[in-house]
Amino acid sequence: MANLDARISFPAAMLADQTREVMVMSLMDGRAYTSKELAFRARVTPQTASFHLKKMVEAQLLLCHCQGRHAYYRINGSDVAAAIEALVRIAPTPGMPSHLKRKTGPFLHARRCYDHLAGRLGVAVAERVEALDLIASSGIECRLTEKGDVFFGKMGLDIAALRKRRRSFLRPCIDCTERKPHLAGVLASAMLDHFTDDGWVASAEIARALVVTERGRRMFPRTFGVSRDLLKPAA
């Protein structure tokens, strides 16, 4: 039992620090960043950032890749990202976390949560796919309906191949700013890939934030019935 306790307490202790929390959440857009970039976001010195990042690499929460004079850090795979999402989901404090309160409109409107769509748009898409009977949700997990299987197949997603992936196929993820569920898992990841590749959304200048393109303002209402008012550019 002691070994099992240690397996839980060690990674939990790594994240029980606001500086580490901010850096990890910054990496939840699925991209890699330097220690200097993460230090700026966490509002700490580069030396302090390097100390925390080294600890998280040793804990196997992050990966470090050296390229030239720079070391880039990223989340150590989808399993770690899913665990971080789960911690956000069970957080007892209501409302928006303090380090997110200063975020601007575009971040709140649409963003990446590791590899899937989050923010107001992510929540709206999740609500619409359930309303259209494309998925069925128990509140803990989701499943694709027969109608949804056909729908996403016509969108060009290889549902059979996605089901063979090792990670969760589809599940709700409580949005850290909206406090309502958006969709996570391999299907949600494939959906965001489609939105990006087909030009519905594009990366914004703000970390993790996404902007809805002109094409997206046509396609989200046409495909999912998302309100056009929601798709107006965020201030």
- 7: containing domain: 2-75
Which residue type does 187 have? L
CB 80 within 8 A of CB 30: no
Show pLDDT as tens, one digit a residue, over the chain (235 residues).
Answer: 445 555 677 777 888 888 998 899 888 877 888 999 999 989 999 999 999 999 999 888 999 988 878 889 998 887 788 788 777 766 655 555 554 545 557 778 999 888 899 999 999 999 999 999 999 987 667 899 999 999 999 999 999 999 998 788 998 887 878 878 899 899 999 999 999 999 999 988 777 789 999 999 999 999 999 999 988 876 5
State phi, psi for 16 to the nearest 5 degrees.
-85, 50
Q: How many CA atoms lie within 13 A of 118 on its CB side?
A: 26
In a shared domain, residues 112 and 42 = no
In a shared domain, residues 109 and 185 = yes
Integer Cα distance of 43 and 63 in angstroms: 21
Which residue type does 94 have? P
Structure tokens at 88: 């956000």
pTM of the full structure: 0.68
Query: What CATH number is given to the structural domain containing 47?
Result: 1.10.10.10
Structure tokens at 204: 């914004």
24 within some domain:
yes
In a shared domain, residues 33 and 116 = no
Q: Is 114 helix (H, G, I), strand (E, B) or coil?
A: coil
